[in-house]
Chain A
C-alpha cells in the first residue's frame, strides 16, 4: 500500500511530466490559452494514460521483456523482442485512442463533444508514449502500480496545464515586452514553475529507512560511549581500591 502512495505522489510532484521531464510540451503550449480547454485536454490525457500504460505493461511483461516469452515454451526463453517496443507501444496507443473515441462517441455524446476534438491529437502526444516508455525504463513491477503510474502522471500533467492556463489568462493584462508576448513569456513562466516544483524534491526522501538508521547509530554511539566511560570509571575504581588495599 505504501509503495502505491509513494508512487502516486512521486509521479505528480517530483517526476512531474511537464516540469521534470518535459513531456507533452507542444500541446501544453498550444492549448493553454484558456482554462476551459486546458481542463478538457488534461482530463483526456489522464484518461488515455490510465488506459494505455497498463495495457503496454502487459505487452512488456509477456512479449517484450528479456526472456518474457517463456510462457510460450521453454525454448523461447532466450528471445529478446525488446527492439519492437516502440512500434508495439505506439500501435497500442493509436488503437486504444481510436477505440476510446468510438466508445465515447456512442455512449456519451456530451463527453465526446467536450473531449472529442482532443482525442485524436492525443495519440501523438509525447506524454502518452512517454508514460509507457518511462514505465518500461523504470521497470514498474505490478499491473496495479502501472495503473497508478498512468493515472498519477496524468494528474501531474493536468495540474501543470491547468496552472499555466490560469496564469496565461491573467497575464494578458500585464505589461509583457512585445518580443516575449505569448510564447516567450510562457516558456519563462513554465521554467519558474519548474523551479518551484523542484522544491518538492525533498518530500519523499528519507522515509522509514534513513532517519531511523541515523537515530540508531547516534543512540548506539552514545550508549557505547556511556559504557566506555563507565568501564573507565570501574577500572579506575578497581585500581584505586587495589591501591588502597595495598
Chain B
C-alpha cells in the first residue's frame, strides 16, 4: 500500500493536534479523566481505543451500504460492544490487575463518544482504507492527550513512571526528595485531571489563535 497520499496522511496527523478529539471536538472525555492517575493505565486504554476504533471503523465502512438508516445506531452499538468484549477478555487474560484497575472504564469504551462520533461522521460515508486511517488518527489523538495527562499526574503525584520511582525514594529521602521536595498529593485525586486538561487546552489555543472560541 505504498506511501500515503497527503490527504491520507492528514487523516492521521490532523487529530493529533488541530482537530484533537478531546480538546477540540470535545469527545471521549470521560475515560480521559478517570484512569489517567497512572501512565501504564493511560497507555493500555489508548491501545484499546486504537484497536476498537480502527477495526470498528473498517467494519462499519464495509457495511455502510447495507445498514438501514433507522437501525444504524443499534448496529454501531453492537459492533462496538463486540469489539470491547474482545478487548476486555484479552485484558483479563493477560493482565488481570490492570483489568481490575481500569474496572468499568473498559466497558465504557462502548459509549466513548469518539467511537460513535467517527462512525457517524466518517465511516458511514467513506471507504474502508480511509476509515481505517481516520480511526487510527483519532484514536492516536485521544491517546496523546491521555499519555500527557497520565505522565504529569503520575510523575508529580507519585514520583514514579510505570510504577518505577524516578525522582528518588520519598521514604528514605534520596534523589530529589533530599532537597525537601514532596509528592503533590493533589495530582492523584480525580479533579486534578480536569485541571491538567484545562491547562493543555490553554496551551493549545494560545499557540493556535484560530481555535479560540468566540464569546
Contact = CB atoms under 8 A, between A and B. Distances in A.
A21 B34 contact: yes
Contacts of A91: 74, 77-78, 81
Interface in A99-149: 120, 123-126, 128-130, 133-134, 136-137
Tell me the interface secondary structure of chain B in the complex.
helix
Given A90-B77, A94-B73, A187 B110 contact: no
B195 A183 contact: no
A179 B85 contact: no
A86 B104 contact: no
Contacts of A185: 198
**Of listed B28, B103, B190, residue having the most chain A CB within 10 A:** B190
A86 B84 contact: yes
Interface string A181-214: 1111111101111110010000000000000000
A198 B188 CA distance: 13
B103 to A, nearest CB: 6
Nearest to B106: A86
Interface stretch (B39-47, B122-130, B153-161, B200-208): B200-208
Given A94-B74, A129-B110, A187-B201, A26 B26 contact: yes
Interface stretch (B9-17, B111-119, B135-143): B111-119
A130 B89 CA distance: 19
Contacts of A177: 202
B42 to A, nearest CB: 14
A72 interface: no
Given A86-B85, A125-B111, A180-B201, A191 B29 contact: no
B206 to A, nearest CB: 4
A130 B198 contact: no
Contacts of A167: none
Interface string B187-215: 00111111101110111111001001101
A200 B12 CA distance: 43
A188 B104 contact: no
B107 A187 contact: no
Given A124-B77, A137-B103, A188 B195 contact: yes
Contacts of A188: 194-195, 198-199
A187 B201 CA distance: 9
Interface string A82-105: 011111011100100000000000
Interface residues of B, number: 48
Contacts of A166: none
A162 B195 CA distance: 20
A124 B113 CA distance: 8
27 contacts: A20-B190, A21-B34, A26-B113, A29-B29, A83-B85, A83-B89, A85-B107, A91-B77, A91-B81, A124-B113, A126-B112, A130-B104, A133-B104, A137-B103, A172-B215, A178-B209, A179-B201, A181-B215, A182-B213, A187-B194, A187-B195, A187-B201, A188-B199, A191-B192, A192-B195, A195-B189, A195-B191
Given A181-B212, A191-B198, 9 more contacts: A20-B190, A22-B31, A22-B33, A29-B26, A86-B84, A87-B78, A94-B73, A124-B77, A126-B30
Interface of B: 23, 26-31, 33-34, 73-74, 77-78, 81-82, 84-85, 88-89, 103-104, 107-108, 110-113, 116, 189-195, 197-199, 201-206, 209, 212-213, 215
